[in-house]
Amino acid sequence: MRHIKFIITLCLFNIFILHSNNSYRGENAWLNYRFVEDSVLRNDYKTIIGKIFLSENKFGDVIKSELKISLIKLLGLEVYFTNNVEEAGLCIYIDKNVKCLRKEGFLIKSNDKKIILQSFSDEGLLYGVFYLIRKIQCHNSLKNLNLIEIPQIDLRMLNHWDDIDGNIERGYAGKSLWKWTELPEKIDKKYYDYARLNASIGINGVVLNNVNADPRFLRDDYLMKISALAEIFRKYNIRIYITANFASPIKPSKTPDEMKAWGGIGDLDTADPGNENVQIWWKKKIEEIYRLIPDFGGFLIKANSEGMPGPQDYNCSHADGANMLARLLKPYGGFILWRTFVYNKNVDNDRMKRSYKEFKPLDGQFEDNVILQTKNGPLDFQVIEPPQPLFGAMKHTNMAAELQITQEYTGHSTYLVYLLPLWKWFLRFDTYCEGKGSTISKILKGNLYGRNITAIAGVANTGSSVNWTEHHFAQANWFAYGKLAWNPDVLENSVTIEWIKCTWSNDIYCVETIKNMMCSTWKSFINASSPYGLGLTMDIPTHYRADFNIRANKEWQVDNIGIGNDRSDKGSNFVSQYYEPNSLIFNEIVTCPEDLLLSFHYVEWNYIMKSGNTLKDDFFYKLKSGIFQVKRNIYLWKSLEKYIDYVRYEDVLNSLICEKHDATRFYCDAVSFFYSRINMIDINQINKF
């Protein structure tokens, strides 16, 4: 009888597990603690971990909770904590003698019987525990470890472009996570889950609202709502930042749209940073914020860009505006993140040159708690574009790179486009600002110039979708950004494999197949939408589909002779903003890297490329790349059906099918344009797809 009951129980358990796997929708992202089925490996983990010693620290409750959740799911191990270091298999404690780890670093040492996780501070323990859990998720050995992890960038931030009405600008995963109508009374569980995910990859700062800032976020009632979020986030070492509208001290306008441009929440008639009453207004507002949020990080400001108000409206410089706010924040340890995304057409005819021309003359004029937040390129988050020459040029100013995780120009949440290769390409770029080897990675880490603070920002791709990012593979870009923010020199392959193992499977075939699907998508999307770095080829206003027609002879030149942009010394001379030898290399067609050729040169269609083909032949062949890529990915994904849980398998397959449809349409539209406008291609080629 007992034997029969056991069999029935086992069958019911298996049915439950099967149902759970088949109904999983990706809500845990890379914290998907799947049971370690290899009994030998599982027992190795259980033997070495045993009881756990955890020293007192301010993140103790979070650490204990995560260990309990992860170890029971991964190993079936019920966690026991002990105050006896000697009997503990896993010892987690603070050691004030290891100052080299700084505030957030940690070290892990182990032998066959014990694991020691040490840090100099509470924060290091938090990050170290998540790191150790990932080791188990990836089925890595916990024996004979001897490693040190120290974040290379101080402020590792996510920027949310969330509006007060719940919409997200350039958001493709549902509505905003922040339910402003419910806060502060009602706290959504998803706020805790979001904080967990960020803490697990080292994110320590979050900007809650859109850079096109609504002044109402600084109102008393919204500060109370923001304070409730800050209370949750600080449990995970995440500081809150707010995007502030520069015109906030001005009297309210009639409509929200007018308020964004020329209205605020104050009682003044001006927002002049030199005006004493304006300074008093900001001083009182900042005092109010810190009473509610003692660890408030500071303000992100978009000023004098795309209709947003700023100091230039009062004949003041960006430095004048940033410094006024920075001085008021300094006593509290707060920062001003001042965006350099400006492209006033009165500054220069070439949009590429405008940000540099506005900010380079101000180098050295900013307070030491001002950080210039600068997009990776001088255009606008293109799939590929030349690195922004301000990196390296601003030798006396704190600089932060702004990367875009949300896929504004890279297929939204329809396309599978893995962005880590793009970001690594950008970070490896040698500026030569201090001679050979002056990479952007070194600049951001503060290795080249003495920086008071180092920072990096990523425009978030999260929303109210069950799986956070709508496309399951878009989670990889969030994860990869966090790993990159921790260490810009992290190896691309290791990050990719780690995400796959934590999110999908540890099976070797599954890991290799998914990696093959991901790693070529960035290059394919370049070829399919912006061959040779043409830039700004997407439609307006969605920036989703390649629309050559609307951009032709506005953003770049095209005719039946050639295509591209002349930014050489014979054209706009954008090349002069780079240090030698980059300026010389970019200046000549024969030496310019082909992946950026059309960013710097107008090139004739009959120009012979390195492949031996003409530009025309290679250009139109590359436009098909998106179709080839997605067809290949559909084939690879179908080979994984037995490895992937049902819901996520079907979700990804449907996304790939949609991507194939759209990629085909984009190609056909491109062919139609070039046929109708310049008679460069046979219209019959459309029928091939």
d(CA 74, CA 229): 30
Q: Is 66:196 a contact under the CB 8 Å cutoff?
A: yes
Q: Which of 163, 214, 358, 408 is catalytic?
A: 408
Gap between the Cα atoms of 389 and 596, Å rounded:
14
Is 51 within 8 Å of 82 (Cβ atoms)? yes
Whole-number Å distance between alpha carbons of 229 and 180: 10
User: To which residue do tokens 């491109």 refer?
Assistant: 670
* Contacts (Cβ under 8 Å, ≥6 apart) of 532: 564, 594, 595, 596, 597, 598, 599, 603, 615, 619, 622
Is 380 among the residues known to form the active site?
A: yes
Tokens of 688: 């091939």
* Of 169, 295, 313, 380, catalytic: 380
Beta bridge partners of 300: 243, 337
**Sheet of strand 602-604: strand arrangement:** 557-558, 562-564, 602-604
What secondary structure letter does DSSP report for 131? H
Calpha distance 373→389 (Å, rounded): 13
Based on the residue annotation, tell me whether 408 is a catalytic residue of this protein. yes
Q: Is 605 helix (H, G, I), strand (E, B) or coil?
A: coil
Side chain identity at residue 285, one-letter code: K
Q: Is 306 a catalytic residue?
A: yes
From residue 529, alpha-carbon distances to 90, 502, 533 in Å are 51, 31, 9
Nearest to 601 by CA among 537, 593, 559, 538: 593
What is the distance between the alpha carbons of residues 53 and 302, in angstroms, rounded to a whole number? Answer: 47
> Which residues, 6+ apart, have CB-to-CB distance to 90 below 8 Å?
48, 49, 50, 51, 52, 53, 114, 115, 117, 132
Q: Which residue has the tokens 């070439």?
A: 350
Give the span between the Cα atoms of 671 and 226, in whole angstroms: 50
CA nearest neighbour of 60 among 123, 3, 140? 123
SS3 content of the chain, % helix, strand, coil (to 5): 45, 10, 45
Query: Could you give the residue ranges of the DSSP H alpha helices within 25-59?
Result: 39-49
Under a CB-based contact definition with an 8 Å cutoff, are residues 319 and 392 in contact?
A: no
Type of residue found at 42: R
Compute φ and ψ for 10, nearest 5 degrees: -65, -40
Task: Report the alpha-carbon distance of residue 525 to residue 663 in Å, rounded.
Answer: 10
CB atoms within 10 A of CB 299: 28
Catalytic residue (one of 61, 306, 588, 682): 306
Residue 456 to residue 435: CA distance in whole angstroms: 23
Alpha carbon distances (Å) from 117 to 54, 66, 135, 204: 10, 15, 13, 20
Catalytic residues: 306, 380, 408
